[in-house]
Amino acid sequence: MLCLYSQVNPILIFDNFCHGLGDNDSLRQTSSKRSRQNLLDSLRPLRRTKRRWIIATLEIEEEDKGPFPKLIGELFNNKSHDMTIRYLISGPGVDEYPEVGLFSLGDDSRGLVYVHRSIDRETNPSFLVRFDVASTSTGEIVDRSLLFLVNIKDINDNAPKFTKKEYNVTVKENHQRDEPVFHVTASDNDEGGTANSRVAYSLVSQTPRLKEPVFTVEPFTGLIRISGCPRYEGPRAFKLLIKATDHGIPPLSSTATINIAIEDSNTHLPEFTKENYRLNITENQMGGDILRLSVEDKDTRNTPAWRAKYKIVKGNETGNFIIKTDPDSNEGVLSIIKPLVYDGTSGKSLIISVENEEPFFSCDRGQMRSLREPPKSTAVDITVLDTNDAPQFHPPVLVLQREEGVKSGTHLGQYTAQDPDRVPNAIRYKVAFDPAGWVAVEEQSGILTTVEILDRESPYVNNSVYTILLYAIDDGVPPQTGTGTIQLFLFDVNDNAPKLVAPFLEVCEGTDKNSFQIQAQDKDDFPYAGPFTFHLVEGSENTKGVWKLGRNVGDSAELQMLRSLPVGNYSVPLHILDKQAFSRVQSLYVRVCPCLDGSTCDPEIAYASARVGGGAIAAILAAILFLVAGLSLLLWCSCCSNTVSKNDFPFIPSEMGNQSLSHYNEESQPVLSQDMPDARDHILPSTVYADSRKDKSQLLKVTTELLSRTVLPSPL
């Protein structure tokens, strides 16, 4: 079965080509689930038969005013010659979405098709309707179904629509004519490809109105172009009214407003306000602004068309000057970055040019073009004024080499400066920095001599280098001072023997056969330093059977304790040699003390450096009693002198004996050696003289002082 549709021919004849659509009601259910396009694509011709449909054209125009229901066509099937039939209609617009109830059969025996209301083509442009024919008596479908596409005829009922009613556009003053300013578009919802939807554009008005329109619009594309040179100094804003019109009957149209703002471009060159400048600058002047150059520019302020760029095009070959733009005032700021030197000439002349950040444009034959105009320039004449320059040492840093230990008065060298002025001034020299006070300088000649012995191991020497600063002062007006640096390198000599890093050692009481690491250091440098050689001093009674040296490694050695020692202070004499065998004898002081925790001397009892027996205490008490008796005798002699005249008995001074207090570890047993500075014996004064003419109060004072100096050791 072949389905044909038309909107022109009044009658259509459908030859029945067997397609296999089905002759029962299941086709009606299947068709409702398929799309209209799939059903059309599924139709393919097969063999011809004698049966056929005849249908008057179903023609509907959108927005039809009626009256309704309105007859739109009639059906005929040749089955009506053989039996009594009735026609059936179904599908979209009948009993399916969209527009259910739009179509119906007014008389199902005659096949009259009616439409019941107006329809909008832009909503539903067509309907695929199904027609069937059935026996009136049995209700059975007696012929194959007919699928008919009902198209809705378009009328021009939609005007073109712009995407917006108003547009805002910015155009630079130097916009090129061949580039569109803006592209405006409008769309028409009428049937595409017809006159009803074809749109043309036109410029209705331009505000402000000029003799010649500045803007045009292309009719078919909607491109808005500029037709001349927009001048920022003229109108800076335009309002265009654009109309879009379709080609339907009657034509429909709509309008949109385009607001165009003209943005300033560089159409004016900056010009200096002065043709030349004159400056006086003193030589050696540095830093700060020396000149501000101003320009005039008629373009809009704070835009690339107005902002200036300055350049020194001539006269700055030695790089003394730099010029920058002040972003606030647009002035050129000229500064000195390298001091000028007075050479007796008239000075310098600088040529400075200026241009804008944006290229310069000009209107040429109705079109803006970029032009390479030479930039404006000005001259700056600079006179350099002579000043008194500071003397300059040559070289700025003088390196001298000497061996340490040289004596006072040794000549080190001569360090002089020159005056760079055209008429040199007299120069005198002065030591500015000499932290160790080793040198002096001859004021007129700059000759350096030593005033102290040079010592490489001084804390003022860094990596064998001693730094000295000299001043060279001229007699100009005002006086100027130059500074020179002397790096005095000192060669090392072997003038320092190795020395123990830690000369004190604490050992807990009861320690037996232990070893300790002792370390030495030498202020000299290689080859007058380590590795060191350690020896115990031969013949020392303090070391026999008690101390022994183990391995020597670099700057340290192992000291072995062979047996435990009682509490007390001891000294171990050592002989330490450097690589050149230079040495001296020194002692390692060892204190044996009680340790409550087994590793650290207890501070509360550490002061008791020796045990004192009962015999020692008795001897000390006897000495004190003897001292008291002697003082009593002196006091008695003083009393007797009051009754005897001076001429009768001449005074013979008496001398008290020297007395010392010795420490012992055990009763009647001396310590091996006790040389620690903090364990010195308390020694009484060697001699006391008593003058018979001294009063009693002075004698009592002496007695009290002597007693206060006597200390009784506490037994442990």
What's the CA angle centered on 52, arms 48 and 55, to 5 degrees? 140
Asked which of 94-108, 234-248, 337-351, 680-694 is least confident by mean pLDDT, the reply is 680-694
Q: CA-CA distance, 415 to 399, in Å (whole number)?
A: 10
How far is it, in rounded angstroms, from Cα 602 to Cα 509?
11
pLDDT higher than 90, residue 174: no
The tokens describing 593, both together, are 């003390």
What value does the CA radius of gyration of the chain take, rounded to a whole number of Å? 63
Phi, psi of 263 (to 5 degrees): -100, 135
- Quickly state the pLDDT bin for 634 (edges 50, 70, 90): low
Provide the residue count of the chain.
716
DSSP 49-65: EEEEEEEE---EETT--
Flag whether pLDDT at 605 surpasses 80. no
Residue 274: its pLDDT value, please? 92
In this prediction, residue 245 carries a pLDDT of 95
Residue whose structure tokens are 């001084």: 458
pLDDT (0 to 100) of residue 645: 40
Q: What is the pLDDT of residue 648?
A: 40
pLDDT band at 271 (very low <50, low <70, confident <90, very high): very high
- Do the Cβ atoms of 524 and 492 come closer than 8 Å? yes
Residue 244's contacts (CB-CB under 8 Å, 6 or more residues apart) are: 160, 161, 162, 186, 199, 200, 201, 222, 253, 254, 255, 256
User: Counting Cβ atoms within 10 Å, is residue 96 exposed (0-12), middle (13-18) or buried (19+)?
Assistant: middle
Distance of CA 578 to the CA centre of its chain: 53
546 and 563 in contact (C-beta within 8 Å)? yes
For 29, what's the count of Cα atoms within 13 Å in the CB-facing half-sphere?
3
d(CA 665, CA 31): 130
10 Å CB burial of residue 179 (0-12, 13-18, 19+) is exposed
Q: Which residue in 211, 181, 205 sits closest to 368, CA to CA?
A: 181
Q: Which amino acid is at 540?
A: S
Distances, alpha carbon 339 to alpha carbons 288, 324, 474, 532, in Å = 12, 18, 21, 59
Q: Is the pLDDT of residue 691 over 70?
A: no
The pLDDT score that the predictor gives to residue 442 is 94
Q: Mean pLDDT over residues 334-362, rounded? A: 87
Question: Six-digit token pair at 137?
Answer: 């008596």
Query: With bands split at pLDDT 50, 70 and 90, how would you rate the model's confidence at 622?
Result: low
Query: Which residue has 């200096």 as its token pair?
Result: 272
Alpha carbon distance 96, 273 (integer Å): 86
pLDDT at position 17, please?
34
DSSP for 147-199 reads: EEEEEEEP-S----EES-SEEEEEEETT--TTS-SEE--EE--S-TTSTTT-E
Task: Work out the average pLDDT over 26-52.
Answer: 43
The pLDDT score that the predictor gives to residue 629 is 72
Looking at 320-329, 539-548, 676-685, which range is the least confident one? 676-685
Query: Within 10 Å of residue 148's Cβ, how many Cβ atoms?
Result: 23
Could you give the CA distance from residue 225 to residue 588 in angstroms, rounded to a whole number?
105
Given pLDDT bands bounded at 50, 70 and 90, which one contains residue 353?
A: very high
Three-state SS at 141: strand
Question: 23: which DSSP letter?
Answer: S
Among the ranges 141-155, 503-517, 672-686, which has the highest mean pLDDT value?
141-155
Q: Which of 123-137, 142-156, 323-337, 590-604 has the lowest mean pLDDT?
A: 590-604
- What would the two tokens of residue 206 be? 């331009």
For residue 279, which of 342, 350, 353, 345 has the smallest C-alpha distance? Answer: 350
What CA–CA distance (Å, rounded) separates 603 from 402? 51
Q: Which residue shows structure tokens 């055990």?
A: 666
Question: Are the C-beta atoms of residues 148 and 131 closer than 8 Å to each other?
Answer: yes
Q: How many CB atoms lie within 10 A of CB 351?
A: 15
Predicted local confidence at residue 366, as pLDDT: 65
pLDDT, residue 346, reads 65
- pLDDT category of residue 709 using cuts at 50, 70 and 90: very low
Out of 136-145, 411-420, 692-701, which region has the weakest mean confidence (pLDDT)? 692-701
Of the listed ranges 160-164, 184-188, 621-625, 644-648, the one predicted with least confidence: 644-648
Q: How far apart are CA 7 and CA 58, in angstroms?
A: 7
Nearest to 144 by CA among 78, 74, 92: 78
CB atoms within 10 A of CB 341: 13
DSSP, res 300: P
Predicted local confidence at residue 121, as pLDDT: 86
pLDDT at position 559, please?
86
Confidence at 618, pLDDT banded by 50, 70, 90: low
CB 558 within 8 A of CB 603: no
For residue 200, what pLDDT band results from cuts at 50, 70 and 90?
A: very high
Question: Are 3 and 14 a contacting pair, CB within 8 Å?
Answer: yes
Quick one: pLDDT at residue 685? 33
Beta bridge partners of 241: 205, 257
Spatial CB neighbours of 702, under 8 Å, sequence gap ≥ 6: 631, 688
441 vs 173: which has the higher pLDDT: 441
Instruction: Report the distance separating Cα 256 and Cα 107, nearest Å.
Output: 53
Contact 181, 173 (CB under 8 A): no
For tokens 């300033």, the residue is 264
Side chain identity at 275, as an amino acid letter? Answer: E
Phi and psi for 605 in degrees, rounded to 5? -120, 10
pLDDT grade, residue 524 (50/70/90)? Answer: confident
DSSP state of 294: -
pTM recorded for the entire structure = 0.45
Say what the pLDDT of residue 232 is: 72
d(C-alpha 495, C-alpha 456), whole Å: 10
Q: Give the torsion through C-alpha atoms of 55, 60, 66, 71, to 10 deg.
A: 0
pLDDT at site 369: 74
Using CA atoms, how far residue 175 sits from 212, 267, 300, 322, 366, in Å, is 18, 12, 17, 36, 11
pLDDT above 70: percentage of residues in the chain: 76
Structural domains of the chain, with CATH: 11-153 (2.60.40.60), 161-263 (2.60.40.60), 271-385 (2.60.40.60), 392-491 (2.60.40.60), 499-593 (2.60.40.60), 614-709 (no CATH)
SS3 content of the chain, % helix, strand, coil (to 5): 10, 40, 55
Local structure of residue 284 (DSSP, 8 states): T
Tell me how far apart the alpha carbons of residues 240 and 260 are, in angstroms, rounded to a whole number. Answer: 8
DSSP string over 344-407: SS--EEEEEEEEESSPPEEEETTEEEE--PPPEEEEEEEEEEP-PPPPEESSSEEEEEEETTPP
What does the DSSP assignment read for 443-475? TTT-EEEESS---TTSTT-BTTEEEEEEEEEE-
Task: Identify which of 653, 622, 633 has the alpha carbon closest to the alpha carbon of residue 703.
Answer: 633
